[in-house]
Chains A and B, each alone.
Chain A
Amino acid sequence: MLTLTCPYCGVKAEETELAPGGEAHLKRFGAGSSDADYEAYMFARKNPKGVHFERWRHAYGCGKWFLAARDTATLEVFGTYPAQSKEPPAELVAAIKARRPGWEGRK
């Protein structure tokens, strides 16, 4: 059972309390952008087999969106952080690198 700690209310929430929201840190391309950029923003996804950054919502808790780092190949959770973050926090990246020495960082 997947368990994520909500960075806002601090609750250790299990999967049935949470709603997944797809890839995190997408850069939005809206009206006026090129077709290629818009297509990539809408549909192209990293889908890594390994470390992945995702959006989650504490749906049956405080209701807030937050971000999480997780391994899609092992289901290990590295940590969660607020949705307002432009990049994963440095200490989280360091923690992932400690657990996954071969990881090349977020591409």
Chain B
Amino acid sequence: MQRYSVFALAREAFRDHRGWERAWTSPEPRAAYDVVIVGAGGHGLATAYYLGKNFGITNVAVIEKGWLGGGNTGRNTTIIRSNYLQDPSAAIYEKARSLYETLSQELNYNVMFSPRGLLMLAQTHHEVRGYLRTVHANLLQGVATEWIEPAKVKELVPILNIDGPRYPVLGALYQARGGTARHDAVAWGYARACSAMGMHIVQQCEVKGVRSEGGRVTGVETTKGFIGCGKLGIVVAGHSGQVAEMAGFRLPIEAVALQALVSEPIKPCLDVVVMANTVHGYISQSDKGEMVIGGGTDGFNNFTQRGSFHHIEETLRALVETFPMLSRLKMLRQWGGIVDMTGDRSPILSKTPLGNCFINCGWGTGGFKAIPGSGWAMAELMAKGEPGPLAAEFGLDRFREGRFIDESVAAGVAH
């Protein structure tokens, strides 16, 4: 792998940038690998990376139906935070957030992690109580968050109207080291590092079937032929149920559309991430100057990657009251992603009924922030065959045993 540095940049500047290598190779798949991971999004690539880095397993293929990072990795609002209520969630999201801190240096690829701070506005008295509880829980979990009063909120976000008639700002849950990162770069950085370890990333290769024998997976049928594997990881948010069905089991998951949109670019006016869960909207400003706005999910199953317009309208109506200056902005683009929703709104990192097949899914509306932690925990699960401490609580068996990790209550709707 050609390292990126200021010296490499200077060297290439003197030869018209003709010496740059491709960041990753695009080989044809071999007949078999030790590990095959289905899905080259952030979570799949991170799983492959930590399999190599932490466990020395490099005979790995990551196969992808479309293009690398082209699913929800490229469709989210890039928010990173770990201010969750429940212990298992706080542990895995904080692991992810702490890995993001040094990810650019580790991957030698600028993922533009920007710990600009993140606010969750409390706009009802229920939210005030809920967030105070979360602050106390985070204190016990070792996650640095604090409760801040309206005056401090106004200081951090001058464009915010804290005295709105319907949704006054009563305070906020503040995570100073939360923020954003460049979503594509996370996938590209992991892909480059995986490729450098000799792993194969095979794009335009759709899984059509899972072949198994005596309760164990032997390989996958794909549009590029049969690929054998010692272990199979299914990491395909949005279509988890479809791939699980090929493998012969059913998941407690439903697919719904989650929408986001961006405004025309404007000069810098918002240097923190603001989430307003009561009104189902969250907002940050991208480096290009666009206001990046996320909304709520539709309530019905949907695989079309587009959502209902009235949800966008609701989100914007409420955000305009909280941020009056937004009323003058034109919205440029709107899009939807298909997210896996579980019954308790927490992810699944689990063994499956097939002995050597593992699944990572159900991240719902908040998967991007978890990518490094999810990959770390999934790699441990796949390498050892048993979950480590980060993944242990996220098994499929929790639905039978009633051990829910209930974040639908803890985190509200927005993730």
Q: Are A15 and B241 interface neighbours, CB within 8 A?
A: no
Contact mask for chain A residues 43-87; partner B; CB cutoff 8 A; 1 contact, 0 none: 111110100101000000000000000101111000000000000
Q: Are B310 and A15 interface neighbours, CB within 8 A?
A: yes
Q: Are B301 and A72 interface neighbours, CB within 8 A?
A: yes
Residue B308 at the A interface, CB < 8 A? yes
Q: Are B253 and A47 interface neighbours, CB within 8 A?
A: yes
- B7 cross-chain contacts in A, Cβ below 8 A: none
- A1 cross-chain contacts in B, Cβ below 8 A: 308-309
Please pick, from A43, A44, A49, A54, the residue contacting B300 in the complex, using a CB distance under 8 A: A54
- B303 cross-chain contacts in A, Cβ below 8 A: 49, 72-73
Q: Are A43 and B302 interface neighbours, CB within 8 A?
A: no
- B253 cross-chain contacts in A, Cβ below 8 A: 45, 47
Q: Are B252 and A19 interface neighbours, CB within 8 A?
A: no
Shortest CB–CB separation between residue A75 and chain B, in angstroms? 6
Contact mask for chain A residues 5-24; partner B; CB cutoff 8 A; 1 contact, 0 none: 00000000001100110100
Interface-central residue, A39, A40, A49, A75, by most chain B CB under 10 Å: A49
Please pick, from A2, A45, A54, the residue contacting B308 in the complex, using a CB distance under 8 A: A2
Residue A98 at the B interface, CB < 8 A? no
Within 8 A of A (CB), among B236-257: 239, 241-242, 250-255
Q: A54-B300, A72-B302, A74-B304 are in contact. Are A47 and B241 (CB under 8 A)?
A: yes
Shortest CB–CB separation between residue A16 and chain B, in angstroms? 5
Within 8 A of A (CB), among B270-312: 298-304, 308-310
- B343 cross-chain contacts in A, Cβ below 8 A: 42-43
Residue A90 at the B interface, CB < 8 A? no
- A54 cross-chain contacts in B, Cβ below 8 A: 300-301
- A16 cross-chain contacts in B, Cβ below 8 A: 310
Give the docked Cα–Cα distance between A54 and B298 (Å). Answer: 14
Interface-central residue, B299, B303, B342, by most chain A CB under 10 Å: B303
| A-B contacts, CB under 8 A, total | 55
Please pick, from B255, B308, B400, the residue contacting A72 in the complex, using a CB distance under 8 A: B255
Contact mask for chain B residues 90-133; partner A; CB cutoff 8 A; 1 contact, 0 none: 00000000000000000000000000000000000000000000
Q: Are B308 and A43 interface neighbours, CB within 8 A?
A: no
Residue B399 at the A interface, CB < 8 A? yes
- A40 cross-chain contacts in B, Cβ below 8 A: 250
- A15 cross-chain contacts in B, Cβ below 8 A: 308, 310
Q: Are A49 and B399 interface neighbours, CB within 8 A?
A: no
Closest to B255 in A: A47
Closest to B300 in A: A20
Q: Are B301 and A52 interface neighbours, CB within 8 A?
A: yes
Shortest CB–CB separation between residue B159 and chain A, in angstroms? 30
Q: Are B399 and A39 interface neighbours, CB within 8 A?
A: yes
Shortest CB–CB separation between residue B363 and chain A, in angstroms? 15
Q: Are B242 and A36 interface neighbours, CB within 8 A?
A: no
Shortest CB–CB separation between residue B313 and chain A, in angstroms? 10
Q: Are A75 and B254 interface neighbours, CB within 8 A?
A: no
Q: Are B308 and A36 interface neighbours, CB within 8 A?
A: no
Interface-central residue, A42, A45, A47, by most chain B CB under 10 Å: A47
- B400 cross-chain contacts in A, Cβ below 8 A: 35-36, 39
- A52 cross-chain contacts in B, Cβ below 8 A: 301
Shortest CB–CB separation between residue A93 and chain B, in angstroms? 19
Q: Are A47 and B302 interface neighbours, CB within 8 A?
A: no
Q: Are B399 and A45 interface neighbours, CB within 8 A?
A: no
Please pick, from B252, B298, B309, the residue contacting A45 in the complex, using a CB distance under 8 A: B252
- A36 cross-chain contacts in B, Cβ below 8 A: 400
Give the docked Cα–Cα distance between A86 and B299 (Å). Answer: 24
Q: Are B309 and A73 interface neighbours, CB within 8 A?
A: no
Shortest CB–CB separation between residue A8 and chain B, in angstroms? 20
Give the docked Cα–Cα distance between A35 and B251 (Å). Answer: 16
Give the docked Cα–Cα distance between A79 and B29 (Å). Answer: 45
- B309 cross-chain contacts in A, Cβ below 8 A: 1
Closest to A50 in B: B303
Shortest CB–CB separation between residue A73 and chain B, in angstroms? 5
- 12 chain-A/chain-B pairs, Cβ below 8 angstroms: A1-B309, A2-B300, A15-B308, A42-B399, A45-B252, A47-B241, A47-B253, A49-B303, A52-B301, A72-B301, A72-B304, A75-B302
8 A-B pairs closest in CB distance? A43-B252, A20-B299, A20-B300, A47-B241, A39-B400, A43-B399, A72-B301, A49-B303
- Identify the B interface with A (CB < 8 A): 239, 241-242, 250-255, 298-304, 308-310, 342-343, 399-400
Q: A20-B298, A70-B300 are in contact. List 7 more A-B contacts (CB 8 A).
A: A1-B308, A15-B310, A39-B400, A42-B343, A43-B252, A44-B251, A49-B255
